[in-house]
Amino acid sequence: MMAETFTPWSGLLGGLLIGLAATLLLALNGKIAGISGILSALVAPPGAESLWKYAFLLGLVGGPLVYAQVMGAPAALDLQTGGPGLVVAGLLVGFGTRLGSGCTSGHGICGLARLSPRSLVATITFMATAFATVFVLRHLV
């Protein structure tokens, strides 16, 4: 994303929708919107909890499709790596999710909203690691 083309409105709207979805899921279903836990429905045997998990995941996939229909084109995406890089990144994210007992959405959005000390530490760790990674890749490599 270039600073010249940045507009905060889509980010603001997206953030509001994520917050609304997380709030509604907790208020109406008593469940936390941690994507790693919800995604486990795809690999676990179907059970009573599966239906809402599949619906939530369908909304995650369907959101960009609705955006593309409304805006007339898909959101611009500029990948800086190929397939092998994406596979390595996905494996590292999966490993980190298991190591951190949850993903960035679970800790950063839902955990912080519930004032969870564990989520605060996890989110600080995620952000510090991200800052350090960007610094190393942009300035040292």
pLDDT in tens, 74-100: 777 777 888 898 899 888 888 888 888
Q: What is the pLDDT of residue 120?
A: 94
Q: What is the pLDDT of residue 3?
A: 59
What the block records as the tokens of 87 is 């596979």
Residue 73, φ and ψ in degrees, nearest 5: -160, 150
Give which of 51, 60, 43, 36 is closest to 111, Cα–Cα.
36
In this prediction, residue 45 has a pLDDT band, given cuts at 50, 70 and 90, of: confident
What the block records as the tokens of 61 is 């996939």
Euclidean distance between the first and final Cα of the chain, in Å?
21
Element (H, E) at 135: helix 117-135
Q: What is the pLDDT of residue 73?
A: 77
Q: What is the pLDDT of residue 135?
A: 93
pLDDT at 112 exceeding the cut of 60 = yes
pLDDT at 1 exceeding the cut of 60 = no
